[in-house]
Amino acid sequence: MKNIAYLRVSTAEQCPDRQIEGLKDTADELHIETLSAVARHRPVYDMVIGRLERGDVLVVWALDRAYRSAKDALNELDALRDRGVYFKIASLDLDTTTPHGRFVYTVMSGAAQYEREMLIERTKEGIAAARAQGKQIGRPPKLTAVQLFDAHYRIATRQATRVQIAAERKIAPWSLTRALKRSVEAPPN
């Protein structure tokens, strides 16, 4: 019987230290993945699940590090249980082998999904409010309107290619192509 830990952070900028500290004394192995929980393919997670044998314990620091959907969390718990694999949430010391533990797990799954959906909703509301105030959302444009006009003119008069202009402006050619396309599609002010 092994305790195998799955740790996840969504981006490279996030630090898994809190999870590592919480799991290092509990788990025989630590496996870290840098990927969104809702990604279609999670290679580290799939590898960990594939290695689990009857009697092993899959350990996570918190439920949202493994699942964001209540349905996925509950389905995964059932699949693990059918294989004789146990599941433990270390931060809660939650044992899913008992009816009480499965009930708390079910509630936690719903809470994690609710939290994710509320975060998405608040983000969309914040973006809409910022746009309503005339704020630009996202990265600032790499090229000004004058630079785009110049690029259009030079390309149309065959004075330069997109690749040459992109190199002059120190941007990727596809960035220039996308900016030129947007500037043509943009409604006049």
What is residue 185's predicted lDDT score, i.e. its pLDDT? 75
Local confidence band at 64 (pLDDT 50, 70, 90 cut-offs): confident
| Per-residue pLDDT tens digits for 85-144 | 998 888 888 878 788 888 988 888 888 888 888 999 999 999 999 999 998 888 888 899
What is residue 109's predicted lDDT score, i.e. its pLDDT? 84
Residue 135 lies in a domain: no
The structure's pTM equals 0.61
In a shared domain, residues 172 and 83: no
Q: Which residues are catalytic?
A: 10
Residue 126 lies in a domain: no
> How far is it, in rounded angstroms, from Cα 78 to Cα 72?
10
In a shared domain, residues 113 and 165: no
61 class by beta-carbon count within 10 Å (0-12 exposed, 13-18 middle, 19+ buried)? buried
In a shared domain, residues 18 and 99: yes
Range of the domain at 67: 3-118
**Confidence check: pLDDT of 173 > 90:** yes
Split into its structural domains, the chain has a count of 2
What is residue 128's predicted lDDT score, i.e. its pLDDT? 93
